[in-house]
A and B are shown apart, each in its own frame.
Chain A
Amino acid sequence: MDGKTQPTTSELIIMIAGAVMLVASFLDFRFNASTWGSGNFPIATLLPLYGVIMAAQIALAKFANVSLPDQVAGFTWEQVHLALGLLAGLMAVGWLLTDVGDKQIGLWLEMLGGVALAVGAVMMQRERHTGAIR
């Protein structure tokens, strides 16, 4: 990733989604508790965690010029983003379908963030011409 260029649309989406999800993780998710609260941690915390990992990788590579390994466990960074983004989207749909009684503001923001991560990760494949999405 070129650290001197401006963030692309997909990178912005992922960074904004990650930041929103981090903030939302401290808001009420369900049972009047945040994702860090009793009964929610860590199952509900996975969603913001994925967002933070994705956003942090982009921010580190873009703004801090941190040298990261080219691959992680055999995955390129684009593949890591696509895998985490799609899994976050899957969890977002999962929480949407789950009857938790009162879905609170944190849960709605996490769901939106999860979908945004999936969208951003898919857009990233096109922007970087990985060939994953035709």
Chain B
Amino acid sequence: MNQTKLSPANIVILAAGILMLIGSFLAFYEFSFALAGATHTESISTWSSGLFGIATTIVICGVIMGGQVALNAFGSNVSIPDKVLGFSWDQIHLALGFQAALMMIAFLVTSRAGLSLGVGFWLMLVAGIGLLVGAIMRVAGAKSNPFTAI
């Protein structure tokens, strides 16, 4: 393990990425219905029909960010290019973190009719904001110490 590469910013991104992945399998939306005199509660995750696709793109953002940090820190003999499509990894983290946070906030304020927000949603919301915060911390850290940028 190369601990010198696990800056506080990368720890935040890694933790948020893991949280995002875990949250994606938990209840994103919940809804209750009455059947035979009893109230039942069902839930759907980001991998369920109706959410799989658009909500899964948020998970992809988190997995890419967390995966890059994990590979860079723990992957032995793993070579990651310094730039992808002309973007530095700090820029990729910033763009993906922004996208994840923006989409989770958009889901938060979208009208949901009879659906309520489940624990998976809240975990993903925290994770999305965490990804953006971590990305900003990376950029700020890179500016103050260019030797820990990647």
Q: Give the interface residue-count category, chain B.
A: 20 to 34
The answer to whether B94 touches A39 (Cβ under 8 A) is no
Report how far A93 CA is from B54 CA in the complex, Å: 8
> Which residues of A have CB within 8 Å of B103?
43, 46
16 contacts between A and B (CB under 8 A): A42-B106, A42-B110, A43-B54, A78-B86, A82-B86, A83-B91, A91-B57, A94-B57, A97-B53, A97-B56, A98-B50, A98-B55, A99-B52, A99-B53, A131-B86, A132-B85
B2 within 8 A of A: no
> Which residues of A have CB within 8 Å of B74?
none
Contact string against B for A residues 77-96, beta-carbon threshold 8 Å, 1 for contact and 0 otherwise: 01100110011001101111
The closest CB in chain A to the CB of B86 belongs to A132
How far in angstroms is the closest Cβ of chain A from B138? Answer: 11
How far in angstroms is the closest Cβ of chain B from A129? Answer: 11
In the complex, the number of residue pairs spanning A and B with C-beta atoms less than 8 Å apart equals: 78
How far in angstroms is the closest Cβ of chain A from B34? Answer: 23
Given contacts A46-B106, A94-B57, contact A99 B91 (CB under 8 A): no
Among A39, A45, A83, A94, the residue within 8 A (CB) of B53 is: A94
B87 within 8 A of A: yes
A26 within 8 A of B: no
A69 within 8 A of B: no
The closest CB in chain B to the CB of A130 belongs to B86
A104 within 8 A of B: no
Interface centre among B86, B94, B102, B107 (most CB of A within 10 A): B86
Given contacts A43-B106, A46-B102, contact A95 B91 (CB under 8 A): no
B99 within 8 A of A: yes
How far in angstroms is the closest Cβ of chain B from A93? Answer: 8
Among B56, B87, B91, B110, the residue within 8 A (CB) of A43 is: B110
The closest CB in chain B to the CB of A84 belongs to B95
> Which residues of B have CB within 8 Å of A133?
85-86
Q: A46-B103, A96-B53 are in contact. List 20 more A-B contacts (CB 8 A).
A: A38-B111, A39-B110, A40-B110, A42-B106, A43-B107, A46-B106, A82-B86, A82-B87, A87-B95, A90-B57, A90-B60, A91-B54, A91-B57, A94-B53, A94-B55, A94-B56, A97-B54, A98-B53, A100-B50, A133-B86
